[in-house]
Copies of this chain bind each other. A is one copy, B any other.
Amino acid sequence: MRICVINPNTASAMTESIADAARSVAASGTEVVAVTNPMGPASIESHYDEALAVPGLLRVITEMEADDPADGYLLACFGDPGLDAAREIAVAPVIGIAEAAMHVATMLGRGYSVVTTLSRTIGRAEDLAATYGMAARCRGFHACEIPVLELETNPDTAAILTEACRDALAADGSDAIVLGCAGMADLAATISDKIGAPVIDGVAAGTLLLQSMAALGLRTGTTSGEFRTPPPKRYTGVLAEFGRG
């Protein structure tokens, strides 16, 4: 089985750390292919960045489907960018890390809290929670205000994030924490130990969900028509290559 984990930003160092998180939980028979977005933003910290991360990740899926289709695709950015579009062009299941983490979190207690990077990204997380049916279960959104690419370099990341998680649990009366950025993947276990509560990293959770879906033989459904292959279309400009014959 082969799971493709896509880092929607162009920071390859982060791709490595995401790949590690995915591989550390995947079964021995599961190959994890980690791909960095070949175009777009160095990190995703705005609606603008997120929108512009989508072409590249769709390109990654299109190429992999053409060459050697994966058994599942994971979008490793907490905004779950381009999820619906990706589902149209992949035969295998596609999930986002926010989607994966939020669903798992609801099975570990009554309510959970999301702890993310910059507060400006909370709006998107709220939208996703509503879309995924988590309005009642997702008790609060909290930001540690560390930019994405500083998560790895800031020596205080673990301490600041741990404190933010502890505060979130108390403020929201939650049973679990969802980490709101793929760049936090390596910290889940440490924080969980310190705060005494389950901490869900969507990269690891999503990898195992996809592995499970593949084992179950499940693929995105197309009977309503919404997720069928997009109609052929001519594309122009710098996006001409995205046209589908």
Which residues of A does B touch, CB under 8 Å?
10, 25, 27, 38-43, 45-52, 54-56, 58, 82, 84-85, 87-89, 93, 95, 99, 103-104, 106-112, 118-120, 122-124, 126-127, 130-137, 147, 169, 173-176, 189, 192, 195-198, 200, 204-205, 208-209, 211-213, 215-228, 230-231, 233-244
Contact = CB atoms under 8 A, between A and B. Distances in A.
A239 B107 contact: no
13 contacts: A27-B27, A38-B236, A41-B239, A45-B230, A46-B85, A52-B55, A52-B58, A119-B224, A133-B137, A147-B231, A196-B223, A198-B219, A208-B212
Copies in the complex: 6
A35 to B, nearest CB: 13
Majority DSSP secondary structure for residues of A touching B: mixed
B236 A238 contact: no
B51 A82 contact: yes
B135 A213 contact: no
B85 A107 contact: no
Contact of A49 (B50, B52, B220, B233): B233
Contacts of A196: 222-223
Contacts of A107: 93, 95, 99, 103, 209, 213
